[in-house]
Amino acid sequence: MKPSRPNEDCFRFLFLLREATASAAPRRRLPPWPPRRRRLRRRAQALHLPPPPQLRPRPPRPRRRRLPPLHALLVKLGLQPYERVHNALIQAYGAAGLVADARRVFDGMSRRDTVSFNSMIHGYATSGDVASAREVFERVPAPTPVTWTSMVAGLCRAGDVALARRFFEEMPGRDVVSWNAMISGLVGNHQPVEALDLFRRMLAEGFVPNRGTVLGALSACVGAGGLETGKWIHAFVEKKKLFRWWDEILGTALLDMYAKCGAVELALDVFTKLRSRDTHTWNAMINGLAMNGYSTKALDMFRQMELDGTVVPDEVTFLGVLLACSHGGFVDVGREYFYMIEKKYGIGLVIEHYACMVDLLARSGHLQEAHKIITEMPMKPDRVIWRALLSGCRLHRDVKMAETAVSEMEAACSGDHVLLSNLYAAVGRWSGVEDVRRTMRSKGIEKIPGCSSIEINGSIHEFMSGDKSHPSYSEIHAKLVEIGSRMQLQGYVTETAEVFHDVEEEEKEQALGHHSEKLAIAFGLIGGTPNVAIRIVKNLRFCADCHNFAKLVSQIYHREIVVRDRVRFHHFVEGTCSCNDFW
DNA sequence: CTCGAAAACC
> Straight-line distance from CA A124 to C1' B2, in Å?
13
Residue A291's pLDDT is 93
Residue A112's pLDDT is 92
Residue nearest to nucleotide B7 (CA to C1'): A280
A308 CB-near residues (< 8 Å, 6+ apart): A282
Q: Which nucleotide is nearest to A182 (CA to C1')?
A: B4
* Degrees, nearest 5: CA angle A353-A384-A535: 95
Residue A573's pLDDT is 92
User: In terms of DSSP H, where are the helices of A225-294?
Assistant: 227-240, 248-260, 264-273, 279-291
Q: Which nucleotides of B are covered by protein (CB under 7 A)?
A: 1-10
> Straight-line distance from CA A132 to C1' B5, in Å?
26
- Terminus-to-terminus CA distance in chain A, angstroms? 64
> Straight-line distance from CA A511 to C1' B7, in Å?
40
C-alpha span between A413 and A411 (Å, rounded) = 6
Give A561's strand partners. A534, A572
Give, in order, the Cα–Cα distances in Å from A377 to each of A351, A357, A370, A406, A515. Answer: 9, 11, 11, 18, 38
Strand-pair category, A569-573 with A561-564: antiparallel
Residue A27's pLDDT is 39
At A416-465, the pLDDT tens digits run 888 888 889 888 889 888 888 888 888 887 777 788 889 888 888 888 88
SS3 A533: coil
C-alpha span between A120 and A87 (Å, rounded) = 8
Residue A504's pLDDT is 45
Residue nearest to nucleotide B5 (CA to C1'): A212
HSE of A43, CA atoms in CB hemisphere, 13 A: 13
> Straight-line distance from CA A256 to C1' B6, in Å?
8
Q: Which nucleotide is nearest to A391 (CA to C1')?
A: B10
Residue A502's pLDDT is 45
Q: What b-and-e string marks burial along A418-446, b requiring 16 or more CB atoms within 10 Å of the CB?
A: bbbbbbbbbeeeeebbeebbeebeeeebe
Residue A356's pLDDT is 95
> Straight-line distance from CA A413 to C1' B3, in Å?
36
Give A564's strand partners. A537, A569
Residue A140's pLDDT is 93
Residue nearest to nucleotide B8 (CA to C1'): A316
> Straight-line distance from CA A509 to C1' B6, in Å?
43
C-alpha span between A7 and A112 (Å, rounded) = 18
> Straight-line distance from CA A54 to C1' B5, in Å?
26
A466 CB-near residues (< 8 Å, 6+ apart): A505, A508, A509, A514
C-alpha span between A90 and A70 (Å, rounded) = 11
Give, in order, the Cα–Cα distances in Å from A298 to each of A272, A287, A301, A461, A580. Answer: 15, 7, 5, 31, 17
Q: Which nucleotide is nearest to A18 (CA to C1')?
A: B1
Q: Which nucleotide is nearest to A149 (CA to C1')?
A: B3
Average pLDDT, 10 consecutive residues per value, chain A (583 residues): 68 76 45 33 31 31 56 82 88 85 90 92 87 92 93 92 94 94 94 94 95 96 92 95 93 96 95 95 96 94 94 95 94 95 94 95 94 94 92 91 89 83 87 87 79 86 84 90 88 57 44 76 90 89 86 93 88 89 75
> Straight-line distance from CA A324 to C1' B8, in Å?
14
> Straight-line distance from CA A89 to C1' B3, in Å?
17
> Straight-line distance from CA A132 to C1' B6, in Å?
31
